[in-house]
Amino acid sequence: MNQYSKYSPLLKKVFCTGAIATTVVLSMLVPIGVNSVCAALQDSPKNLVDEIWQIVNKEYVDENFNQVDWQATRQKLLGQNYTSKEQAYKAIRKALEPLGDPYTRFLDPKKFQELTSQTSGELSGIGIRLEVNELTQALRVVEPIENSPAHKANIKSGDRVLAIDGQSTKGMSLEQASALIRGEVGTSVTLEISREGTNSFDVKLTRTQIELPSVHYTLKQEAGMLVGYISVDEFSSHAAEQMRKAIKNLNEKNVDAYVLDLRNNPGGLLYASIEIARMWIESGTIVSTIDRVGGKQEYSANRTALSELPLAVLVNGNSASASEILTGALQDNQRAIVIGSPTFGKAVVQSVHSLSDGSGLAVTISRYYPPSGVDINHKGITPDIELNLSSEQKRLFNRKPEWRATKEDPQYQRAISALQNGIFWQGNQGQLVKPISIR
């Protein structure tokens, strides 16, 4: 179940988002308790417009609103008549544009639902990852999610999905297939499966609430060194608990070092990045935020680190927001060596509000700074060892994601080399060479 659906419109969250990605802190306002009031708000586009204006007026990080006369904006918005919600949505987006902030944005109900699923780390479905084969254009199972209906039904990696509820998947996009497979918890969907060595067969699956894995880990043997490799897709509400499980399991295997891969991670929940930083850092500042009136809040490690082993972090230009919070904390506290390309450079925090008609609003409410206090907004974090991929290498990696963290992955191999040669921070006792650049 969507975590927002249990409450009426005033559920609020806080984000740091990258390429329109998000780092979130959850908090809840008092819900509206009178059904007639809710109905009135839902039925009035003009009330929705004013609801959004009020939130921006109260929370937006720049109290000068980028030199926009925000009071005049309200009068203009309320002076118009709206014959539909879509007309109001258009007016809202136009009113937000002069703020010059791409992260303060209006989300229609569909987009808001997508963002909710992304940050909650959950969705209702059967628990399979799919891809479309480049050569055959066939819909193929990448893997079933552990303990999901698909996993329990023994659906396997490599299975082809020929039909969904009797509808052929020939020529179907991933988006179209996902739309057919997802649905209300408790309802069912039937897949026609083709598996090598058997005739095609039908599998009827009951949809349930699926916890999406955002943290993936494996043990790697690298030239006599046991490496715990952990990648993070995004900082969802389940990312911290998944990271804790990954570190504990790899610790039990007596790894010698860790590689933490944050490449292409666009962000997520603010508190998730802070919790994960605390798993690696025993003491020291993690991040600080400053709001519109100069109020500062500082988040620090709390002596709950799960590992002191050598750590290398991989980043690139798509590592944004919460990824940069974690990277900055590890780098500035001399806990890890950072390898790859400069990060995205997104150092502002958003709150996200559920609105009265099911739409949403993201508002920039503060700026954040790594422990060094350096402003990384629009600049990003420079790796200790800068190793940029060529355009051709990036293209190949997009086509062959299985090359990630293999001998075909130059940035991963550079991380292994650094760990093998002792080029890393370890607490306050390690030694780190000066940042170098490899082109």
User: Would 299 be classed as within a structural domain?
Assistant: no
Boundary of a domain, candidates 86, 120, 154: 120
Given a cut of 50, whether residue 252 has pLDDT beyond it is yes
Structure-block tokens of residue 315:
């980043």
* pLDDT bucket at 9, cuts 50 / 70 / 90: very low
Q: Indicate whether 1 pLDDT > 70.
A: no
- Whether 37 has a pLDDT exceeding 60, the answer reads no
% of the chain exceeding 70 in pLDDT: 87
User: Please, what sign has the CA dihedral across residues 114, 42, 354, 96?
Assistant: positive
Catalytic one of 319, 321, 351, 366: 321
219-234 mean pLDDT: 95
The pLDDT assigned to 44 comes to 81
pLDDT beyond 80 at 383: yes
Residue identified by tokens 């998947």 is: 169
Residue 180's CB is within 10 A of a number of other CB atoms, namely: 17
266-324 pLDDT tens trace: 999 999 999 999 999 999 999 999 999 999 999 999 999 999 999 999 999 999 999 99
DSSP output for 27-59: EEPPPP--HHHHHHHHH-HHHHHHHHHHHHHHH
Handedness of CA 155, 160, 166, 172 (dihedral sign): positive
Among the residue ranges 26-40, 291-305, 330-344, 372-386, the one predicted with the least confidence is 26-40
Residue 325's pLDDT is 98
pLDDT value of residue 124: 87
The residues with which 287 forms a beta bridge, in sequence order, are 299
**Residues in the chain, total:** 439
Kindly state whether residue 233 falls inside one of the protein's structural domains. no
Would 357 be classed as within a structural domain? no
Give the pair of three-digit tokens for residue 297. 């809040």
Q: What is the mean pLDDT of the chain?
A: 87
Q: Residues 36, 89: one domain?
A: yes
Residue 189 sits in the same domain as residue 94: no
**Same domain for 113 and 128?**
no
CATH of residue 158's domain is 2.30.42.10
CA separation for the pair 430, 426 (Å, rounded)? 5
321 is catalytic: yes
Q: Which of 164-173, 174-183, 354-363, 423-432 has the lowest mean pLDDT?
A: 423-432
Name the token pair of 35: 């059904």
Q: CA 191 → CA 154, 178, 210, 213, distances in Å?
A: 13, 12, 18, 22
Q: Write down the pLDDT at residue 54.
A: 97
DSSP assigned state of 212: P
Are residue 185 and residue 85 in the same domain, yes or no?
no
| pTM score of the predicted model | 0.82
Check 101, 159, 233, 332 and give the catalytic one: 332
Average pLDDT over residues 198-223: 93
In this prediction, residue 5 carries a pLDDT of: 27
- Number of helical H runs and strand E runs in the chain: 12, 23
**Residue 116 and residue 15 share a domain:** yes
Confidence (pLDDT) at 15: 54
Mean pLDDT of 94-107: 97
* Residue (of 317, 312, 329) closest to 261 by Cα position: 312
In a domain, 436, yes or no: no
What pLDDT is recorded for position 425?
Answer: 56
Q: What is the pLDDT of residue 8?
A: 28
Residues 85 and 144 in one domain: no
Among 19-28, 37-46, 101-110, 127-136, the range scoring the smallest mean pLDDT is 19-28
Helix (H, G, I), strand (E, B) or coil at 119: helix
Residue 8 among the catalytic residues = no
Domain final position from 211, 233, 248? 211
Among the listed residues 12, 13, 85, 346, the single catalytic one is 346
**pLDDT at 436 (0 to 100):** 33
State the residue range of the domain holding 207. 122-211
Q: Which two tokens stand for residue 347?
A: 């150092």
> The tokens 């709001």 sit on which residue?
291
Do 23 and 99 sit in the same domain of this protein? yes
Q: Return the SS3 of 195.
A: coil
Q: Could you read off the pLDDT of 134-167 as tens digits, one per residue?
A: 778 899 998 898 889 999 999 999 999 999 999 9
Q: Any idea what the CATH number is for the domain that residue 97 is in?
A: 3.30.750.44
In a domain, 407, yes or no: no
164 inside domain: yes
Q: Please give the Cα distance from 336 to 316 (Å, whole number).
A: 16
Reduce the DSSP state of residue 279 to 3 states and report it: helix
Listed in order, strand segments (DSSP E) in 165-237 are: 167-168, 188-194, 201-206, 208-211, 215-222, 225-232
pLDDT value for 30: 27
Split into its structural domains, the chain has a count of 2
Q: Strand 360-369 and strand 285-291: pairing? A: antiparallel
Q: Measured in Å, how far apart are the chain's first and last C-alpha atoms?
A: 47
On the 0-12 / 13-18 / 19+ scale of CB atoms within 10 A, 364 is buried
Last residue of a domain, one of 120, 139, 173: 120
The predicted structure's pLDDT at residue 133: 80
Kindly give the interhelix angle for 322-332 and 270-280, rounded to the nearest 10 degrees.
30
Asked if 97 and 138 sit in the same domain, the reply is no
Mean per-residue pLDDT, 42-66: 91
Q: Quick check: is 288 catalytic?
A: no
Q: Does 302 reside within a domain?
A: no
List of E strands, 303-347? 311-315, 337-340
Q: How many CB atoms lie within 10 A of CB 27?
A: 10
Same domain, 100 and 193: no
Phi, psi of 49 (to 5 degrees): -60, -45
Q: What is the pLDDT of residue 270?
A: 96
What confidence score (pLDDT) does residue 93 get?
97
What are the residues whose beta carbons fall under 8 Å from the beta carbon of 192, sequence distance 6 or more? 161, 162, 163, 164, 166, 200, 201, 202
Q: Quick one: pLDDT band at residue 25, thresholds 50, 70, 90? A: very low
Does a structural domain hold residue 368? Answer: no
Write out pLDDT tens, residues 410-422. Answer: 999 999 999 998 8
Give 334's pLDDT tier (boundaries 50, 70, 90): very high
